[in-house]
């Protein structure tokens, strides 16, 4: 499906069905992190504006701030009123207890993340967690991570450590086979967060596209690309062609949230009505999400729409 195509999704589609369909259509599901209701409203508004399915994500920190059960209840309610599929992911989950909490709360997927551990321990902890969440809800999709993609959806002063821990196709094959995950998040040149030069639109992240294609062939599962903020548009499109099914964007939303909030507060120092202050923030974040969604579904986007996220 493209942004201009006929809408065939219904809110009854499962995450697996939507991912399968998008894969055949050469598109990827956009995953956007939320920490508050303003961000959630913006993501849902973008899905509705573009008429494209969307994946709402929340990391452990974001879930702690929002409330995992409260976020799940809100998404459930928004999904009932939405005419496009809306899914919810427990992003970067570092413990069995937090994965179980998300599965019980009704999340559609859990991003199990023991990637900081040595490979064998990562395999063992991921496998145990996958079994536990599938016992709660067999339909839940489990993601596993290997390799180093850095930490922090933030603005980084300088480039983080090197890319020495890129995922190899053989590691990917072994990891999928041993853990039973449905989705693999590899390290393919992607990094969490943005450099200042990226926020200013002067630099872009580039991906190892050949490695993505090799990993896809070896792993034969859905692939997630983390650390999407600041990535070159053409690399996004080629990464989807090479086998990426889900793309995570967080820092770009956070930058738009902060800059538009600052501008909104500065506009009138006597304004105290929250919904008047926050409405432009929702709009600003929505523009970033809509532009990314359109790109992930094959629509070319004006450079100004995503170049600088201010």
Size of residue set near Zn ion by CB under 5 A: 2
Selected range binding ligand G3H among 60-68, 163-171, 222-230, 270-278, rule: CB under 6 A = 222-230
Please pick, from the candidates 122, 129, 179, 250, the single residue that binds ligand G3H as defined by CB under 6 A.
Answer: 250
With H, G, I as helix, E, B as strand and everything else as coil, classify residue 203: coil
Please pick, from the candidates 205, 226, 235, 286, the single residue that binds Zn ion as defined by CB under 5 A.
Answer: 226
- Which residue, 1 or 90, has its beta carbon nearer to ligand G3H? 90
Among positions 117-136, residues that touch ligand G3H (CB under 6 A) are none
248 binds ligand G3H (CB under 6 A): yes
Selected range binding Zn ion among 38-46, 60-68, 199-207, 240-248, rule: CB under 5 A = 240-248
Q: What angle do CA 36, 195, 167 make, to 5 degrees?
A: 90
Question: H-helix or E-strand containing 89?
Answer: strand 86-93
228 binds ligand G3H (CB under 6 A): yes
Size of residue set near ligand G3H by CB under 6 A: 14
Q: Closest approach of Cβ 35 to ligand G3H, in Å? A: 12
Question: H-helix or E-strand containing 196?
Answer: helix 196-199
CA distances from 92 to 157, 276, 291 (A): 23, 33, 24
- Which residue, 51 or 156, has its beta carbon nearer to Zn ion? 156
Q: Closest approach of Cβ 251 to ligand G3H, in Å? A: 3
Question: H-helix or E-strand containing 223?
Answer: strand 222-225
Q: Closest approach of Cβ 165 to ligand G3H, in Å? A: 16
**Residue 308 neighbours by CB distance under 10 Å:** 14
148 binds ligand G3H (CB under 6 A): no
With H, G, I as helix, E, B as strand and everything else as coil, classify residue 222: strand
How far is Cα of residue 75 from the mean position of the Cα atoms in its chain?
16
245 binds ligand G3H (CB under 6 A): no
Instruction: Return phi, psi of residue 64, to 5°.
Output: -65, -40
Residues 146 and 141: their CA atoms lie apart, in Å, by 17
Residue 251 contact among ligand G3H, Zn ion, none, beta carbon within 5 to 8 Å by kind: ligand G3H
**Residue 76 neighbours by CB distance under 10 Å:** 13
Selected range binding ligand G3H among 19-27, 115-123, 235-243, 246-254, rule: CB under 6 A = 246-254
With H, G, I as helix, E, B as strand and everything else as coil, classify residue 242: helix
- Which residue, 191 or 286, has its beta carbon nearer to Zn ion? 191
Strands 244-249, 194-195: parallel, antiparallel or unpaired by DSSP? unpaired
41 binds Zn ion (CB under 5 A): no
Q: In the numeric block, which tokens belong to residue 103?
A: 């599965």
227 binds ligand G3H (CB under 6 A): yes
Q: Closest approach of Cβ 67 to ligand G3H, in Å? A: 19
Q: Closest approach of Cβ 17 to ligand G3H, in Å? A: 23
144 binds ligand G3H (CB under 6 A): no
How far is Cα of residue 194 from the mean position of the Cα atoms in its chain?
15
Query: Crossing angle of helices 68-81/37-50, nearest 10°?
Result: 30
Q: In the numeric block, which tokens belong to residue 27?
A: 């598109």
Site residues (CB under 5 A) for Zn ion? 226, 248
The residue ranges that bind ligand G3H (CB under 6 A) are: 33, 91-92, 153, 192-193, 226-229, 248-251
């Amino acid at each position: 499906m493209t942004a201009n195509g006929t809408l065939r999704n219904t809110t009854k589609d499962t995450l697996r069905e939507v991912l399968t369909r998008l894969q055949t259509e050469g598109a990827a599901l956009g995953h956007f992190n939320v920490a508050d209701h303003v961000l959630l409203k913006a993501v849902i508004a973008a899905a509705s504006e573009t008429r494209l399915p969307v994946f709402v994500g929340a990391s452990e920190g974001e879930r702690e701030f929002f409330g995992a059960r409260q976020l799940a209840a809100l998404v459930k309610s928004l999904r009932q009123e939405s005419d496009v599929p809306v899914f919810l992911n427990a992003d970067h989950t570092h413990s069995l207890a937090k994965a179980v909490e998300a599965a019980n709360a009704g999340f559609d997927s859990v991003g199990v993340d023991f990637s900081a551990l040595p490979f064998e321990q990562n395999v063992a902890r991921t496998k145990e967690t996958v079994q536990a969440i599938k016992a709660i809800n067999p339909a839940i999709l489990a993601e596993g991570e290997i390799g180093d993609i850095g930490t922090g959806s933030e603005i980084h002063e300088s480039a983080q450590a090197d890319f020495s821990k890129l995922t190899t196709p053989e590691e990917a094959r072994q990891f999928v086979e041993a853990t039973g995950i449905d989705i693999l998040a590899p390290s393919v040149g992607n990094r969490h967060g943005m450099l200042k030069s990226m926020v200013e639109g002067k630099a872009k992240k580039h991906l190892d596209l050949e490695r993505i294609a090799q990993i896809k062939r070896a792993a034969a599962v859905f692939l997630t690309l983390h650390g999407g903020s600041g990535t070159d548009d053409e690399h996004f499109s080629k990464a989807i062609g090479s086998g990426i099914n889900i793309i995570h964007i967080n820092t770009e939303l956070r930058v738009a949230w902060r800059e538009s909030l600052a501008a909104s507060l500065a506009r009138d120092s006597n304004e105290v009505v929250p919904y008047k202050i926050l409405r432009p923030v929702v709009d600003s974040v929505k523009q970033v999400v809509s532009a990314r969604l359109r790109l992930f579904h094959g629509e070319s986007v004006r450079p100004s729409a995503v170049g600088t996220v201010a």
